[in-house]
Amino acid sequence: MTRPIRLEISLPAIRHNFQFIRQHARSRQLFAVIKADAYGHGVVDTAKALADQADGFALLNIEDAVRLREAGIRQPIALLEGPFDAAEAAAMADYRLGGAAHSIEQMDWLAKGSAERPVEVWLKINSGMNRLGFRLEQAADALARLRALPAVRPTTIMTHFATADEDYGVAEQWERFQPAAAASGLAVCAANSAALLRHPPTHGDIGRPGIALYGASPFGNATGAELGLIPAMTLSADIIAVQHLQPDDAVGYGRRFIAERAMRIGIVACGYADGYPRVAANGTPVAVDGQASGTVGRVSMDMLAVDLSHLPQAGIGSRVELWGPQVPIEQVAAAAGTLSYELMSAVMPRVPRIAHS
């Protein structure tokens, strides 16, 4: 491909971040969360990079889990939302996959399996997130039902925090969940990246780091680098044209930017069809050949503009880092009113990907 845009993935950075989390976690085991194609980093590449470090992997789609098994991944794999129908429940047994049970329907699907190949089940409890899971008052009955199924082996009780990354914290949910967890006698899995870094009492037996693996912060008041993480994803593209503006000249659709002075701008081969946020504000940070600058005007489908007025050396062929080690993805996300999670997972397949090992 000749279009000058690329997504670079640093597998050493992912390994570094996993070890950083391991040093901060009290959990006996860590299951690396690699859902959504490992947050855009490549599910197979990421799993292979962590194969000698992670105790297991957690994801959503059974197709990805099967790909991992076929790629030689032997660690436990947990489907965070469990099976979506009876056929998936059967496939979980075939491929030695564990996963959540958050409804009676899933229990019924799992019950059709064989006692010779029991599925390891994580009982999902709704402690206040109110998405998936049995209510706390249903926990004991749900666990008893699971234990009565020959095709099922309950191993873990899990919940998910709604505000581990915010000042509100997790105390309320943890206080609700803890008695049910203790009564179950199962391994406890509750802590995501934010809880692993900020709420040690919740670490339990199995931690499930996600966003922090990829070098981004789960918190709104710090970047991943400020926490000690290394960004694993770099999105960059080259300047393909240069324009000279006079005062009152407009840039891009909708005349969202009007020059107040003479300016020099570069047109970059990246747009919202590549996954860069269309709603990014004027001045969203970029780095041009390593020098700080910002966007100008509205992002279009295939291009965006950056300010070169203070960068006389920059021109056609100059590389523009849109996020990565020089441009924290958290800052780009804030300028677009979103989260780094969304930016990572939204990079489109048409962007060439390079994994560095």
Catalytic residue among 39, 95, 253, 276: 253
How far is the C-alpha of 223 from the C-alpha of 218, rounded, in Å?
A: 8
Scored b (16 or more CB within 10 A) or e, 10-47 reads bbebbbbbbebbbebbebebbbbbbbbbbbbbbbbbbb
121 occurs within a structural domain:
yes
What does the pLDDT average to over 194-222?
Answer: 97
Both 67 and 157 in a single domain? yes
Considering 35, 214, 272, 276, which one is annotated as catalytic?
35
Residue 253 is a catalytic residue: yes
Domain boundary among 191, 208, 225: 208
Strands in 276-342 per DSSP E: 285-288, 291-296, 304-307, 319-323
Domain's final residue, options 163, 193, 208: 208
**Which of 100, 52, 99 is CA-nearest to residue 74?**
52
CATH assignment at residue 137: 3.20.20.10
Give the mean model confidence (pLDDT) for residues 8-30: 97
Q: Please indicate, yes or no, whether residues 282 and 349 belong to a single structural domain of this protein.
A: yes
3-state secondary structure 106-153: HHHHHCCCCCCCCEEEEEEEECCCCCCCEEHHHHHHHHHHHHCCCCEE
Q: What is the pLDDT of residue 199?
A: 97
Q: Are residues 301 and 193 both part of a single domain?
A: no
Beta bridge partners of 214: none
On whether both 202 and 57 belong to a single domain, the answer is yes
136 part of a folded domain: yes
Residues 39 and 181 in one domain: yes
Distance set, CA 260 to CA 244, 246, 250, 263, 278 (Å): 13, 8, 10, 9, 23
Average pLDDT in the chain: 97
Q: What percent of the chain has pLDDT over 70?
A: 100
131 and 57 within one domain: yes
Q: Which two tokens stand for residue 285?
A: 């940070």
Residue with tokens 């934010």: 194
Q: Are residues 250 and 285 in the same domain?
A: yes
C-alpha pair distances (Å), 181 with each of 36, 131, 142, 160, 348: 28, 19, 13, 13, 40
Domain count of the fold of the chain: 2
Rounded average pLDDT over 24-51? 97
The DSSP code for 280 is P
CATH number at residue 280: 2.40.37.10
Residue 141 within a domain: yes
* 44, 88: one domain: yes
Q: Say whether both 270 and 321 belong to one domain.
A: yes
The model carries a pTM of 0.96
7 assigned to some structural domain: no
Average pLDDT over residues 280-309: 98
| Residues 155, 275 within the same domain | no
- The binding site for substrate comprises 131, 301
pLDDT recorded at residue 1:
60
Q: What is the pLDDT of residues 95-118, one digit of tens each?
A: 999 999 999 999 999 999 999 999
Q: Checking DSSP bridges between strand 5-10 and strand 319-323, what pairing results, if any? A: unpaired
Q: Quick check: helix, strand or coil at residue 7?
A: strand
Q: How confident is the model at residue 317 (pLDDT cuts 50, 70, 90)?
A: very high
State CA 11 to chain mean position distance. 15
Other residues' Cβ atoms within 10 Å of the Cβ of residue 214: 30
At residue 253 the predicted structure's pLDDT band, cuts being 50, 70 and 90, is very high
Contact 21, 53 (CB under 8 A): no
Per the annotation, where are the binding residues?
Answer: 131, 301
Model confidence band, residue 176 (pLDDT cutoffs 50, 70, 90): very high
- In a domain, residue 1? The reply is no
Q: What is the mean pLDDT of residues 15-39?
A: 97
Asked about 35 being catalytic, the answer comes back as yes
Secondary structure percentages of the chain, helix, strand, coil, to 5: 30, 25, 45
CA dist., res. 318 & res. 242, Å (int) = 11
Print the domain residue range for 185. 26-208
| CA gap 92, 323 in Å, rounded | 37
Q: What is the pLDDT of residues 214-244, one digit of tens each?
A: 999 999 999 999 999 999 999 999 999 999 9
